[in-house]
Structure 1
Amino acid sequence: MNGKKRCEKGTFSPDGMRAEILNPFVHKLELDNAYDKIRTAIFTVILLPFRVIVICYLIVTAWFLACVGLYGLSEDDLRKKPMTGWRSKLRFYILSLMRLVVVAAGFHRVKVLGLEHMARGREAPVVVMAPHSSFFDAIAIVVLGAPSVVAKADTAKLPFIGQLINYTQPVYVWRDDPNSRQNTIKEIIERATSKEDWPQVLIFPEGTCTNRSCLITFKPGGFYPGVPVQPVTIRYPNAKDTVTWTWEGPGALKLLWLTLTQVHSSCEIEFLPVYYPNEEEKRNPKLFARNVRDVMAKALGVPVLDYTYDDCRLIAKAKQLGIPGGAAIREVAELRSQLKLDVANYEVDLIETGLQGTPRWLTLEQFALRMDVLITVPCSRLYKIFVQPSINLMYFPDYLLATLFILYQHEPLSLLIAYGFKIFDGSGTGRLDITSFEELAARTLNLGPEDAHNLFRGADVEKKEYITYDEFVAYATKKPELSFVFTRDGSQKVKIQ
């Protein structure tokens, strides 16, 4: 598939541009027919080993040259001034090897468009590339002549690749450092406005990978210098999308395997005209970023959607805890907002007043009636997220837990579990039997049946065959592996002995 995919209509971004996809963090990839499976099996035996050997040889050779070029330079040296002399000339040979890596990986068709718009150095100190959807986007770094990249600090620790990235004299982002954002912005400004002959700074302003169905919020860091930027788009117009790497979808190794077993893969890079900010945009980096995003979205033919890296972290946490609809949790929040359910948090009142008599399995009509909303596109889409396909009904507790997770994402997990006791308490007595507790534990602690069973038995000190929330808390506070339940940002999968 190419950069513009078929999407489900449903929401609008605040600037009025239609956003036809509500979850840019999901990618489905399966070998769904016999021909693909047989071909992949054959090429795994015949083609894959050859490509891996060649790629490894080329990368190790490039790494060796990078080590030679970086010898004697400290991290401070790399940040103070651009490399010159023989170190700078060595870049050509490293780039040549990396271009051969791209070919060896099967990307025989790297098409570069808009060369007449390609700017150098001072004309456009910052290169803005989107959409960011894959580790294969590194192809663009090679095509652009190895500009300085803005990357996570952990990237420097990658075997072999870390040294190659260091050779671009990157701007590293330390996401765990509270001052990282300011330091990164400061360094970008210094390079963009320096009189030294620094390489252009390449940023992926989305800050995370998406499925290329839309452009999410651009981080403003690269726009703070207020200098002209070079927008560059990247597409992968292939019959089967084996490159997209998102929060919900195939892992890196599977994507690498499937890509290297393709006969050939295509990549398309397009330089758009240099964007010169006006005075208002220079004063307002967020406006600058937003306007550049709109230009790039128009060129790509995709909508924009105001999702951010923080949304990705929320999705990751939801999935880690086993929250129902975890991969679509940001979409749930958006749809609730469209239905005005977020104004008064109707679901909390519903739980507080008691759910006795409310069916757990609902039709669309019953769900709309229960939530006091009309059956509209957002309502139908929200319902569909929690539908069990085998019976075509929504499991209402799943929806309630997902909503509570959104509302109390910054509160201790124990609060969500407290509400969970009310949701799964069908009798209104404040007690849960082992079956109901196992359901709750699976959906808030990501526990399997055995671990949930052990947790229940540990809390049921008097062997009553039911536990209350207070009994759960009394037991959990004594277990070190459950301490994360009572912290604001903790989450992990535990095994209960």
Structure 2
Amino acid sequence: MNGKLNDKTSENLSVEMLNPFVHHLELKTTYEKIRTAIFTVILLPIRVAIICMLLVAAWSLACIGLIGISEQELRDRPLTGWRRPLRHFASKIMYAGFIAGGFHSVRVIGRQATAAEARILVLAPHSSFFDTLPIMVAGAPSVVAKGETSIIPIFGKLLNYTQPVYVWRDDPNSRQNTIKEIIDRATSDEDWPQILVFPEGTCTNRSCLITFKPGAFYPGVPVQPVCIRYPNKLDTVTWTWDGPGALKLLWLTLTQMHSSCIIEFLPVYTPNEAEKKDPKLFASNVRAVMAKALGIPVSDYTYDDCRVITRAKQMNLPWAAGLVEAQKFRQKLGLDTSNAEVKILNSPHILCKDCSQLSYPEFANMLQIPMNNVVSQQLFRLYDKKNTGVIDFREYLYSVLVISQAEKTLDMIEIAFKIFDHSGSGRLSRHEFIEVMKHSLHIYDDDAIGIFYQITKDENATITFDQFAKYAENRSEYAYLFNTQVPRECKPSTDHHQHQQNLIKKIE
């Protein structure tokens, strides 16, 4: 057998593997590039100026509306009297800002339920900081946000005016308190505004609906599903973990002649007794209704999957988003519990003659997974990027083990030392050391050879990981290797305009 997957296997893999965390955006034609350049000079400054003026106007109304109200009062009881219509007026001004930014075509389908009919609005798919638009259309309902956002200039005041449900990160009971506050408001007899939640908990590319977080469904009260679509020829709004940054999206959106958005209010979903007792079941069933209305599939991806991408990017691993798919396949095959890769790493030597040219049967045998299993084949295909029928098994081991085992950059190098140590002696030749530097630190031949000769002068010598660590410890340019990597909060690939995303932070 030549190692290539047969025709039947190829048919099994013909279905596209969705990755909701990836978005590619490029101006492809000369016309698009010229038009964008012209509009950047002519249209963009005008739109930015108008948006800023409207933003300041809305902020001014929020300041007036919050006069004489303490933060505790905002949390304890709903606004009354003239403050409520003023809040709606402020949201209309914010909506005008979207129109000024080019959203001339905003189509609303269906009827928004009243607070008496549905205290909670669940919006999906969540794909952009432009999803603040449905919030304005819905009349500025309360949102769920980080407590820190309340002090952000301008946006913090506007957010406070919606009487948000705050999540305080420094509170170990934050999640429970947030759910309790949602339940209290949703079941209260007082005239609280509706609560708006993005149940996916993170941005996707709208190719599917990922797993809904259950926070909005704990109260067990009727909810109104709201679907969001952006039917634009050029998708300049999607903000995912692997894709263009917020500034690029904002620039390209504001330099389009017009942008479209469709907001569909579906019928209110009233939970049955089983759903009231099981928030996850409730969330899953609401997701199914929304997926049907949108005409897209559901997926078992979750908010936590973006942590894999974030960690992969921390470790400078290539193809970070694809590792989420690899982890999913590994879980289905039980590799995450069998620790097959760790056992291979800790064996006296890796059991393949040429790990850079591993066929599918050899791959399945190494991991002790069934050859005729479609998921096994899909996992192999992820790493067979050129469809040659062979993969570099060392790349597979490295990507999997770094995600699960490495805490700092030096750990990555130690893992690479073990993987590329073909003899199992704990010592690397010059060629093997070059491979380690390339995969772990993206240092290529000439520079890697230079480091090798600084550690040992003998061309035919071998070096150990401890020798490299001692060498790096005495050089300031490698100090970062010894710093502990602290996992970061999941967020798209840029911090620019993070304040906009904070307006629609979800329950964690």
Does the pair score TM above 0.5? yes
Q: Is the 8 A contact 1:124 1:229 kept in 2?
A: yes
Is residue 414 of structure 2 the alignment partner of residue 418 of structure 1?
yes
- 1:460 maps to what in 2? 455
1:133-148 equivalences under 5 Å are 133-148=127-142
Equivalent of 1:25 in 6, 21, 25: 21
Equivalent of 2:177 in 162, 179, 183: 183
Equivalent of 1:155 in 149, 152, 159: 149
Equivalent of 1:374 in 364, 371, 374: 371
Measure the CA separation in 2 of the matches of 1:490 and 1:155: 18
- Relative to 1, partners in 2 of residues 1:407 and 1:99: Cα closer, same or farther, differing over 3 Å? closer
- 2:74 maps to what in 1? 78
Over aligned residue pairs, what C-alpha RMSD do you find?
3.3
Measure the CA separation in 2 of the matches of 1:489 and 1:50: 41
- Relative to 1, partners in 2 of residues 1:375 and 1:153: Cα closer, same or farther, differing over 3 Å? farther
Measure the CA separation in 2 of the matches of 1:324 and 1:21: 19
Is residue 267 of structure 2 the alignment partner of residue 286 of structure 1?
no
- 2:217 maps to what in 1? 223
Q: Is the 8 A contact 1:211 1:246 kept in 2?
A: yes
Equivalent of 1:401 in 398, 402, 412: 398
Measure the CA separation in 2 of the matches of 1:102 and 1:481: 43
Is residue 322 of structure 2 the alignment partner of residue 328 of structure 1?
yes
Q: Is the 8 A contact 1:413 1:488 kept in 2?
A: no
Deviation at 1:323, TM superposition (A): 2.5
Measure the CA separation in 2 of the matches of 1:289 and 1:435: 53
Q: Which amino acid aligns with 1:358?
A: D
- Relative to 1, partners in 2 of residues 1:35 and 1:375: Cα closer, same or farther, differing over 3 Å? farther
Deviations 1:264-307 (A, max 9, x none): 11100111111111122112111111111111111111111122
- 2:159 maps to what in 1? 165
- Relative to 1, partners in 2 of residues 1:59 and 1:439: Cα closer, same or farther, differing over 3 Å? farther
Equivalent of 1:123 in 95, 102, 117: 117
Measure the CA separation in 2 of the matches of 1:135 and 1:434: 49
Measure the CA separation in 2 of the matches of 1:390 and 1:374: 17
Deviation at 1:310, TM superposition (A): 1.7
Deviation at 1:30, TM superposition (A): 0.8
Measure the CA separation in 1 of the matches of 2:450 and 2:283: 49
Measure the CA separation in 2 of the matches of 1:240 and 1:176: 40
- 2:168 maps to what in 1? 174
Q: Is the 8 A contact 1:321 1:443 kept in 2?
A: no
Measure the CA separation in 2 of the matches of 1:259 and 1:350: 49
**Equivalent position SS for 2:53:** helix
Deviation at 1:143, TM superposition (A): 0.5
Equivalent of 2:186 in 186, 192, 203: 192
Q: Which amino acid aligns with 1:218?
A: F
Q: Is the 8 A contact 1:460 1:466 kept in 2?
A: no
Equivalent of 1:35 in 31, 35, 39: 31
- Relative to 1, partners in 2 of residues 1:337 and 1:438: Cα closer, same or farther, differing over 3 Å? same
Measure the CA separation in 2 of the matches of 1:253 and 1:450: 36
Deviation at 1:441, TM superposition (A): 4.8
**Equivalent position SS for 2:82:** helix
Deviation at 1:171, TM superposition (A): 1.1
Q: Which amino acid aligns with 1:66?
A: A
Measure the CA separation in 1 of the matches of 2:209 and 2:295: 10
- 2:465 maps to what in 1? 469
Measure the CA separation in 1 of the matches of 2:277 and 2:397: 43
Give TM-score scaled by structure 2 length: 0.83
Measure the CA separation in 1 of the matches of 2:39 and 2:387: 36
Q: Is the 8 A contact 2:54 2:97 kept in 1?
A: yes
Q: Which amino acid aligns with 1:396?
A: F
- Unpaired stretches in structure 2, ≥5 consecutive residues: 1-9, 490-508
Q: Which amino acid aligns with 1:155?
A: T
Q: Which amino acid aligns with 1:286?
A: K
Is residue 62 of structure 2 the alignment partner of residue 66 of structure 1?
yes
Measure the CA separation in 1 of the matches of 2:262 and 2:447: 50
Q: Is the 8 A contact 2:125 2:209 kept in 1?
A: yes
Deviations 1:341-360 (A, max 9, x none): 44634333433242362241
Deviation at 1:420, TM superposition (A): 1.9
- 1:246 maps to what in 2? 240
Measure the CA separation in 1 of the matches of 2:341 and 2:464: 22
- Relative to 1, partners in 2 of residues 1:90 and 1:400: Cα closer, same or farther, differing over 3 Å? same
| Comparing 176-185 and 433-442, the one that deviates more | 433-442
Measure the CA separation in 1 of the matches of 2:421 and 2:161: 60
Q: Is the 8 A contact 1:323 1:401 kept in 2?
A: no
Greater RCO, CA 8 A, separation 6+: 2
**Equivalent position SS for 1:66:** helix
Measure the CA separation in 2 of the matches of 1:429 and 1:265: 61
Q: Is the 8 A contact 2:128 2:238 kept in 1?
A: yes
Deviation at 1:104, TM superposition (A): 0.7
- Relative to 1, partners in 2 of residues 1:209 and 1:343: Cα closer, same or farther, differing over 3 Å? same
Q: Is the 8 A contact 2:355 2:394 kept in 1?
A: no
Deviation at 1:388, TM superposition (A): 5.5
Measure the CA separation in 2 of the matches of 1:315 and 1:374: 28
State how many pairs are aligned: 472
Identity score, percent: 55
Equivalent of 1:309 in 300, 303, 307: 303
**Equivalent position SS for 1:47:** helix
| Comparing 197-206 and 187-196, the one that deviates more | 187-196
Q: Is the 8 A contact 1:325 1:385 kept in 2?
A: no
**Equivalent position SS for 1:431:** coil
- Unpaired stretches in structure 1, ≥5 consecutive residues: 1-7, 12-18, 492-497
**Equivalent position SS for 1:78:** helix
- Relative to 1, partners in 2 of residues 1:434 and 1:139: Cα closer, same or farther, differing over 3 Å? farther
- Relative to 1, partners in 2 of residues 1:390 and 1:340: Cα closer, same or farther, differing over 3 Å? closer
- 1:5 maps to what in 2? none
Is residue 466 of structure 2 the alignment partner of residue 482 of structure 1?
no
Measure the CA separation in 2 of the matches of 1:101 and 1:274: 29
- Relative to 1, partners in 2 of residues 1:145 and 1:388: Cα closer, same or farther, differing over 3 Å? same
Deviation at 1:163, TM superposition (A): 1.8
